[in-house]
Amino acid sequence: MKILIIEDEKKVAKFIRQGLEEEHYTVDVANDGENGSKLAQSGYYDLLILDILLPKKDGITILKEIRAKKIMMPVIMLTAKTSIEDRVEGLDSGADDYLTKPFAFAELLARVRSLLRRGSNEKTTILRVADLQLDIVSHKAKRGEKIIELTGKEYALLEYFIRNVDRVLTRTIISEHIWNYNFDTGTNVIDVYINHLRSKVDDGFEKKLIHTVRGVGYVMKDE
């Protein structure tokens, strides 16, 4: 799952980002409304955490813009404003939830999980490919009886592969969905992470799930 934070208070944005990444979410941050609005309209994100008071373009305007374009990803509004009128304006503009600063990260995380579950059409939280299982709520993985310990980026990669089984994923596509938007695609970081993931998922098993498509990228096959 990929989350966008639009928040001009850098300490707050860093705090939220770190907490979400520790929970294995992929996170991008924008510190002003103009840049944030462009990212929000890209279609790359599963959820938006949006501050109201932003430089260049306020959160309510951003929210109205993305809803006008029929982008229906869940949106959690963050604000220091506490009046009922402010909350009503945010909800009426298309927000799914509203959290007033200061807030406990545990509460924000609970709301994120709730909205992501609500927005999913899946009847189960378990994703499966062959004998590989991934729980998208607990973020636990196992293959057969083997428990697989994953880092945050490895979890994000594995979930993305499973959701796109039999689809060849280029390095550019992977970088857009797993790393942040200013990731340097000229490095070999993606290959390194995929090799680590492959060793955890495939080593010791006769059937290999993660395959290299030479000169193109990678694919997870269920054959």
Q: For the chain, how many structural domains are there in total? A: 2
pLDDT tens-digit profile of 62-117? 999 999 998 889 999 988 776 677 777 778 888 899 888 888 998 999 899 888 87
pLDDT tens-digit profile of 116-153? 877 655 546 788 999 999 988 778 899 999 999 998 88
**What is the average pLDDT across 3-7?**
95
Please, which residues bridge with residue 2 across strands? Answer: 26
As a whole number of angstroms, the distance between CA 82 and CA 103 comes to 12
114 and 131 housed in the same domain: no
Q: Between residues 121 and 20, which one has the greater pLDDT?
A: 20
Under a CB-based contact definition with an 8 Å cutoff, are residues 136 and 127 in contact?
Answer: yes
> What pLDDT, on a 0 to 100 scale, did the predictor assign at position 152?
85
- H/E element, 17: helix 10-22
Alpha-carbon separation of residue 104 from 19, 99, 107 (angstroms): 11, 10, 5
> What pLDDT, on a 0 to 100 scale, did the predictor assign at position 119?
61
160 and 74 housed in the same domain: no
Q: What is the dihedral of CA 61, 73, 29, 84, to 10 degrees?
A: 50
pLDDT tens-digit profile of 181-217? 556 666 788 899 999 999 999 999 999 999 999 988 9
Q: Token pair of 147, please?
A: 């428990």
> What pLDDT, on a 0 to 100 scale, did the predictor assign at position 185?
60
CATH number at residue 41: 3.40.50.2300
211 and 137 housed in the same domain: yes
> What pLDDT, on a 0 to 100 scale, did the predictor assign at position 30?
95
Examine the fold and report which residue of 96, 118, 140 is the final residue of a domain before the chain moves on: 118
The strand order across the sheet containing 217-220 reads 169-170, 217-220, 210-213
Q: Which domain holds residue 41?
A: 2-118
Examine the fold and report which residue of 91, 118, 145 is the final residue of a domain before the chain moves on: 118
